Structure 1
Amino acid sequence: MKENLEQVANSNKYLIIIYFFMITTPFYFFPSQYPLFTVFFVIMFIVYYKKEVFVQLKVAFMNKALILIGLYFLYTYLSLLWTSNIEHGFAVQKVYREALFYIPILYIFLNQKTAEISLKLFCIGFGLYALYSIGYYLEFYQYGASTKDNPQGHLGYETVTVKMSLGIFFSSIFYYFESNNKMRYLFIFIFIVCLIGLGINNGRAAQLSFLLVLITLIIIYRKNIFSKKTLIVFLSSIIILGVVFYKHKDRFEIGYLELKKVVVEKKYEGSWGIRAYMYLTGIKIIKENPFFGVGSGDSKDTYRLIASKENSPHAWFSHMHNQHIELLSRYGFVGYSLLLISVIYLLYNIRENRKFFILGLVFYLTIFYNSFFNTLLDRKPIYILFFVIFALLAILNKKDIKSINN
């Protein structure tokens, strides 16, 4: 009895730290933030399970989605074998180093109830960052480049607008399935502040991606669109998104003119024109190395080599502003397919749980669409969210585990 009480006390103590990790993840305060949490998770795991550490680790190998994502990680490290720039290759692999530890540990340590709480804490974190961004817009404070016209806070607007988009979708889903009225009011509040946050920030890519995810959901759930709750959410989103596009219409018009110059005059100028050059150059790299890619460390050097030979003024860039092209150039269709199949398999296996499935769907669709415009999975905190949420969703199919919460 005494041992059981001690176990419950320890589990609660560790859960507080895990929950703190979840709610602070959207902010990314300092570079060593996630490595420090990862070290703590490892120590926590060893201290809690003691002699059962290796027995518990076997649990992770019982989940096929985790095995698939593990094979993807292994492949990315194997790509170092055909990489010339090893130093840059190891720098790129920082995306996966921490995930190798916290994915299995969180998967083992949490259960479905605590995984759902963790997802709600992410949602609250998105709402808090939205309030933080609104503060810049209202000129309550100022930091660096962040102003009323660019209220991104201490993170780049490319990631901030993605989090605002996720906050809108997560709060809508939790509101839809929530029975507690007080919690529903909280999710309505998060929905509103994240919509404002999406509108006041400069991320055209995230705003377009938000619209694409919304259209995708309407197509998938067209039979349920006329239910009262769903209709309110969709109409509210579309109306406010229309206001957002109208407010930024000049920026979209400029982007259109830049693309027109690319097609008609072959001039790669402006934000969208430069991106077009990067994409076309990236496709050349993929065509030369379609199956296995150039390796994790050589995509940057290969891009710069091609751009220099073409006397392009854009040869100094270190990435191609498109995560799909970046992954295909690094790891080829083999590596890219492993990651894609891992996510699809995960979603397929949780399809019976409607709430978790929709959460997973909107999260990975948001990342998928945004990744056509930015290298999101090379940026904190997005890649942390990507793999932590993968572990949380995988918990739905956890079997025969001795959980601290049972």
Structure 2
Amino acid sequence: MLERVRGIICYSMYKMSNIKSKITHLIEDKMFETFMFINILGYALFKISYRPLGDIFQSFIVLGFLLFLFCNFKKAIKDKAFICLFLSILLTCLSWINSTFQIPHLAKDSPNIGILADLFFFIFIAYWLKGSIKKVRTLWLFYAIGVFLTALIHSNDILADIMNGIAGQRIDFNYVNANHLGALAGITFLISCYYTFTFKPIKSKIFITLFILIPSLFITIVTQGRQIWLAILITSILTPIVIFIFSKKINVKSLIIILSTLTISAYLAINTNNRLHNENYLIPIILSGDINDIPYSSMGIRIHFWSESIPWIKNNLFLGTGEDTRSFVIQESTNLPQEIKSKFTHLHSGHIELIVSYGLLGIVLFLYIYTLIMYSSTFYKKNNEVLIISTMFILFFVIINCFESFLFFKTGEYMINIIFGGIYTFYLTHNLSMKDNNE
């Protein structure tokens, strides 16, 4: 009997080893890698422009990565971003448990582990990019096309939207709201500015300028997002400083890029001046410290929401009380008028929503991720290209999330996974190759 059991175990182990060998051969095949890269490009094109199709491409990417995990779980589990993925799931569970004690009448029946975990899909993308700068550039190009497709597909009348935008109206292209498409186009504009100046072939410069830079600039202008041009402006100023800190040098070409971007950003600021000046009267009221006197304008609503968040943060400082807290802050308020409570469901600040939902541990987790991505960008050794893009995106994303909740919308998830995936691939590929050499 014992011999039979041993025989069954040995046979099972042999079959498992044989299956792993076949799957390893499959995922290392160039044709399969090409297939996965095509799915990544499909995800970039359609995830937000036409989600049903984008979800199909995403499913294939997940399936391909699961095959990799089946054969290489011991290697993958040691990756820092992969560990953070598991920590994000643990954090959502802990925050949910805390909510069942702190706000039992509002707590959900179960935790939504995907709310943070979905932001780590960039790991799957990073693996299949295989540390190839050509694939990364192609992915970011398809991201830009995906943004334009979003405007085209979601708009009820694209020609009317374009003409109305030229006439000075604020246009949202029927996608969420104007701030969201403005954010998507804003980072496209920044990245295309960089490549316009750095690519040497004149044909590449002309292509990027005509088909990427100008359309993204147009969308950024007509969506009139104040936080978008503010983010572009600050990013333009801080990027050369950050690059110098990391690399101890900065070339003249980089300065030209930043100064040129800064000039265009100034134009964006002028373009949105009317919306900005409309709320100038709030400044002395805010400085007076009397929240009750602040009217419920666009900025005033945000300030009221952020003020209402303070007690929730104090009461659940470390763990928060789950992803729905951003709605509870508004709905449970005794200070906000009913018309505001019935109209809004989130706090219009990704950072504040992160801390009310997941506490200081949530903030620490994302600070570490941002740091890891910046560090990962240095693993592309040829030049500062990836480091500059990484710096631009993180600065831009952090700033726009001060005034809007992109972090908890599909818009922010899409931005993070595409840009972070293109950055993290160099670090991930390097680490996996080092592990292969050590075995």
Task: Calculate the TM-score normalised by the size of structure 1.
Answer: 0.82
Cα 1:208–1:19 shift into 2, 3 Å: same
In structure 1, how many angstroms separate the alpha carbons of the residues matched to 2:123 and 2:43?
A: 16
Does residue 72 of structure 2 align to residue 56 of structure 1? yes
Partner of 2:179: 158
Question: Percent same amino acid among aligned pairs?
Answer: 20
In structure 1, how many angstroms separate the alpha carbons of the residues matched to 2:214 and 2:163?
A: 23
Summarize deviations over 1:69-119 as a string: whole Å, max 9, x none: 43133312332212244449756x54335456x444333333111334323
The one-letter code of the counterpart of 1:314 is I
Segments of 5+ residues of structure 2 without an aligned counterpart are 1-24
Partner of 2:217: 195
In structure 2, how many angstroms separate the alpha carbons of the residues matched to 1:146 and 1:292?
A: 47
Segments of 5+ residues of structure 1 without an aligned counterpart are none
Summarize deviations over 1:126-156 as a string: whole Å, max 9, x none: 466678899978627799x999723321312
Does residue 401 of structure 2 align to residue 400 of structure 1? no
Does residue 83 of structure 2 align to residue 71 of structure 1? no
The one-letter code of the counterpart of 2:402 is F
Partner of 1:323: 350
Partners of 1:95 and 1:377 within 8 A in 2? no
Say which of 413, 425, 435 aligns to 1:383: 413
Partner of 2:205: 184
The structure showing larger relative contact order (alpha-carbon pairs under 8 Å, at least 6 residues apart) is 1
Question: What's the RMSD between the two structures over aligned residues?
Answer: 3.6
In structure 2, how many angstroms separate the alpha carbons of the residues matched to 1:279 and 1:88?
A: 27
Does residue 364 of structure 2 align to residue 344 of structure 1? no
Cα 1:109–1:249 shift into 2, 3 Å: closer
Summarize deviations over 1:141-174 as a string: whole Å, max 9, x none: 799x999723321312111111221012211233
Partner of 1:280: 307
* Structure-to-structure mapping, 1:89-100, within 5 angstroms: 90=111, 93-96=113-116, 98-99=118-119
Q: CA shift at 1:56, angstroms?
A: 2.9
Partner of 2:140: 119
Task: Calculate the TM-score normalised by the size of structure 2.
Answer: 0.76
Does residue 273 of structure 2 align to residue 252 of structure 1? no
The one-letter code of the counterpart of 1:247 is N
Cα 1:68–1:152 shift into 2, 3 Å: same
Partners of 1:262 and 1:268 within 8 A in 2? no
Partners of 1:68 and 1:338 within 8 A in 2? yes
Of stretches 271-280 and 345-354 in structure 1, the one that deviates more from structure 2 is 345-354
In structure 1, how many angstroms separate the alpha carbons of the residues matched to 2:385 and 2:206?
A: 18
Partners of 1:165 and 1:195 within 8 A in 2? yes
Q: CA shift at 1:367, angstroms?
A: 1.0
Partner of 2:261: 237
Q: CA shift at 1:274, angstroms?
A: 0.9
Q: CA shift at 1:327, angstroms?
A: 0.6
In structure 2, how many angstroms separate the alpha carbons of the residues matched to 1:334 and 1:137?
A: 43
- Give the paired residue count: 390
Say which of 309, 316, 329 aligns to 1:289: 316
Say which of 287, 294, 298 aligns to 1:267: 294
In structure 1, how many angstroms separate the alpha carbons of the residues matched to 2:345 and 2:156?
A: 33
Cα 1:260–1:29 shift into 2, 3 Å: farther
Partners of 1:136 and 1:142 within 8 A in 2? no
In structure 1, how many angstroms separate the alpha carbons of the residues matched to 2:191 and 2:54?
A: 23
Which one has the largest radius of gyration?
A: 2
Does residue 128 of structure 2 align to residue 109 of structure 1? yes
In structure 2, how many angstroms separate the alpha carbons of the residues matched to 1:148 and 1:65?
A: 43
Partners of 2:96 and 2:108 within 8 A in 1? no
Say which of 160, 180, 187 aligns to 1:139: 160
Partner of 1:36: 56
Partner of 1:214: 236
Summarize deviations over 1:205-224 as a string: whole Å, max 9, x none: 11112111112124335797
In structure 2, how many angstroms separate the alpha carbons of the residues matched to 1:243 and 1:122?
A: 25
Does residue 37 of structure 2 align to residue 11 of structure 1? no
In structure 2, how many angstroms separate the alpha carbons of the residues matched to 1:134 and 1:259?
A: 36
Partners of 2:96 and 2:107 within 8 A in 1? yes
